[in-house]
Homo-oligomer: A and B are copies of this chain.
Amino acid sequence: MRRSVIGGAKRSSLFLLNQAHRSLLSPSPPPLHHHLGSSPSSSATALLLLLRRLSSSSASSPPPPNMSNPVTVQSINPKVLQCEYAVRGEIVNLAQRLQEELKANPGSLPFDEILYCNIGNPQSLGQLPITFFREVLALCDHPTILDKAETQGLFSADSIERAWQILDQIPGRATGAYSHSQGIKGLRDTIAAGIEARDGFPANPNDIFLTDGASPAVHMMMQLLISSEKDGILCPIPQYPLYSASIALHGGSLIPYYLDEETGWGLEVSELKKQLEEARSKGISVRALVVINPGNPTGQVLAEENQRDIVEFCKKEGLVLLADEVYQENIYVPEKKFHSFKKVARSMGYGDNDLCLVSFQSVSKGYHGECGKRGGYMEITGFSPEVREQIYKVASVNLCSNISGQILASLVMSPPKAHILSFPSLFLLEMNLMNHILPRKTGFLNLWRGVPRLPEKAIKAAEAAKTAPDLFYCRHLLNATGVVVVPGSGFGQVPGTWHFRCTILPQEDKIPAIVSRLTDFHKSFMDEYRD
């Protein structure tokens, strides 16, 4: 789920083909901020191509009923059939088959490795974990070594001290026990303090629910808010497919609002109003507004004034504001700054009685990218005690999230402070290194800005192959280069526009090769399908 910053914000992008101005093959990099006008954070987000919703091609037609088998695609929950999750969909399955082929028959394909740019998963691509975090986790996994002399030589004093602090926050120091359903209280205290320090407004540890990554928290809120297809959730287009998948699984209606590519994927309240009214006119009860800030896959960072308008809109219209804020640490332009929606609402004077607000956070993003640890939380404010009791009950059914993920969430929200660190501090070095490398990787993306419109001939060829044009392009790209990207249709796009989404996380030394492979492929693809 990690996505990358491009220019301003994150390093994943929805690349646009047919509105771009410059050639991918342009020998000199186009000027920064050219394409998207005044919005530097999103200036690098527009690039390549590709097409319409894949629903017709991805919902494979069910096979005939099999009487000897009690479970068929016809007899399962149709909501499961409707759900799509493109970042692990058809293209990724093809990539896995090609990877096996490469292993079995090295040299049999035109490339020697698969490069996964489909999902933000930096440690799978060689990014090393932050030592401080891993030392603390290891010590909490096996606390009996904390007292041993050898440990002083193997682990930093900072990590040993933090591990003791954390163990003292855990009842009985039992890192192998189920915790409180919302997570260990002491860790929630730490996280609440981190939120307070970030926002300058109070945070209550009892508002925090620790979860296995952000995904289960999103599901929990969808489960709470959606009773039937008459319940609608306003979602940005493009969106991260967790939202469309979760709404589908819970049987609700996704009410799309379109981000404006022309203004750097801007979020216009007028568009929200228009879509809300249209949904209401169809009898849909709109329950919540999803805002992803910093954006995924677009990378935009909302301006504070825009956020205030959104808060006002939710308050006026009685919508729960579901704020996906998992990229809060992935902003690399000095002009842009992350403001949590809670901070914005509180600074407007709105408290618990004015707005139902949920903020999602994850340990998978930021400079650390600890995707495999599955840590995260949601902070819920503005819900009545009766409703909170119901949320608590749903959280209880899975008992608790994993304790290592809980510990990591507390570390992420309360990293070591420079002035109390022992020196030399490996933590500061690593954190600064990552925050130096990540925006540098981003720079490479600018080479790709501005690609010509996908030719009619390619669209026709895709139709002939009964494939959506964006999937057609991505499949050709993978077969030719080993680079895995995701068709834009999985994220949603304005009908008639085609995109793909690419996360640029491989190690820095591999990026020139990726760029070169993509460039060569695109050239030959366009040569083949030129109108």
* A→B interface (CB under 8 Å): 1, 60, 62-63, 66, 68-73, 76-81, 83-85, 88, 119, 121-126, 129, 131, 134-135, 137-139, 141-142, 144-145, 148, 150-151, 153-154, 171-172, 174-179, 181, 212-213, 215-216, 219, 223-227, 242, 245-246, 249-250, 287, 318-320, 353-354, 356, 364, 369-374, 382-384, 386-387, 390, 393-394, 396-405
A397 and B154 contact, CB distance less than 8 A: no
A77 and B399 contact, CB distance less than 8 A: no
A178 and B131 contact, CB distance less than 8 A: no
Chain B contacts for A122, CB-based, 8 A: 177
Of B63, B126, B153, B356, the contact of A386 (CB 8 Å cutoff): B63
* A184 nearest in chain B by CB position: B372
Shortest beta-carbon distance from A508 to chain B in Å: 16
B124 and A397 contact, CB distance less than 8 A: no
A396 and B88 contact, CB distance less than 8 A: yes
Given A83-B394, A394-B83, A404-B373 contact (CB < 8 Å): yes
Of B150, B213, B227, B398, the contact of A153 (CB 8 Å cutoff): B150
* A363 nearest in chain B by CB position: B176
Chain B contacts for A72, CB-based, 8 A: 384, 386-387
Chain B contacts for A76, CB-based, 8 A: 224-225, 227, 387, 390
Distance of A79 Cα from B123 Cα, bound (Å): 39
Chain B contacts for A227, CB-based, 8 A: 76-79
Given A69-B382, A70-B318, A141-B141, A372-B177 contact (CB < 8 Å): yes
Given A176-B370, A178-B124, A373-B404, A80-B390 contact (CB < 8 Å): yes
A223 and B80 contact, CB distance less than 8 A: yes
B212 and A85 contact, CB distance less than 8 A: no
Distance of A213 Cα from B178 Cα, bound (Å): 11
A393 and B85 contact, CB distance less than 8 A: yes
Can you name 19 extra interface pairs (CB under 8 A) apart from A72-B387, A80-B224, A212-B212?
A70-B287, A70-B318, A70-B319, A76-B227, A77-B250, A83-B397, A88-B396, A88-B399, A124-B178, A138-B142, A176-B370, A176-B371, A176-B372, A178-B371, A212-B402, A216-B398, A372-B402, A373-B402, A402-B404
Shortest beta-carbon distance from A186 to chain B in Å: 13
Shortest beta-carbon distance from A208 to chain B in Å: 16
Distance of A60 Cα from B320 Cα, bound (Å): 24
Shortest beta-carbon distance from A282 to chain B in Å: 19
Chain B contacts for A80, CB-based, 8 A: 223-224, 390, 393-394
Residue pairs across A and B with Cβ atoms less than 8 A apart, 6 shown, are A1-B178, A70-B287, A80-B390, A129-B175, A137-B141, A176-B373
Distance of A148 Cα from B151 Cα, bound (Å): 11
Chain B contacts for A287, CB-based, 8 A: 70-71
A121 and B178 contact, CB distance less than 8 A: yes
Listed from nearest, the 8 A-B pairs whose CB atoms lie closest are A124-B177, A70-B318, A374-B402, A138-B142, A372-B403, A88-B396, A123-B176, A138-B138
Distance of A1 Cα from B370 Cα, bound (Å): 28
Distance of A227 Cα from B82 Cα, bound (Å): 12
Given A60-B386, A226-B77, A177-B123 contact (CB < 8 Å): yes
B393 and A172 contact, CB distance less than 8 A: no
Distance of A181 Cα from B374 Cα, bound (Å): 13
A356 and B225 contact, CB distance less than 8 A: no
Chain B contacts for A68, CB-based, 8 A: 353-354
Distance of A397 Cα from B246 Cα, bound (Å): 8
Chain B contacts for A354, CB-based, 8 A: 68
Chain B contacts for A181, CB-based, 8 A: 88
Chain B contacts for A400, CB-based, 8 A: 372, 374
Shortest beta-carbon distance from A213 to chain B in Å: 7
Chain B contacts for A224, CB-based, 8 A: 71, 76-77, 80
Distance of A148 Cα from B150 Cα, bound (Å): 11
Chain B contacts for A177, CB-based, 8 A: 121-124, 371-372
A69 and B384 contact, CB distance less than 8 A: yes
A374 and B123 contact, CB distance less than 8 A: no
Shortest beta-carbon distance from A164 to chain B in Å: 15
Distance of A384 Cα from B62 Cα, bound (Å): 11
Of B70, B119, B179, B390, the contact of A178 (CB 8 Å cutoff): B119
Chain B contacts for A62, CB-based, 8 A: 386
A372 and B71 contact, CB distance less than 8 A: no
Shortest beta-carbon distance from A363 to chain B in Å: 9
Given A69-B384, A384-B66, A397-B249, A372-B175 contact (CB < 8 Å): yes
B71 and A320 contact, CB distance less than 8 A: yes
B139 and A225 contact, CB distance less than 8 A: no
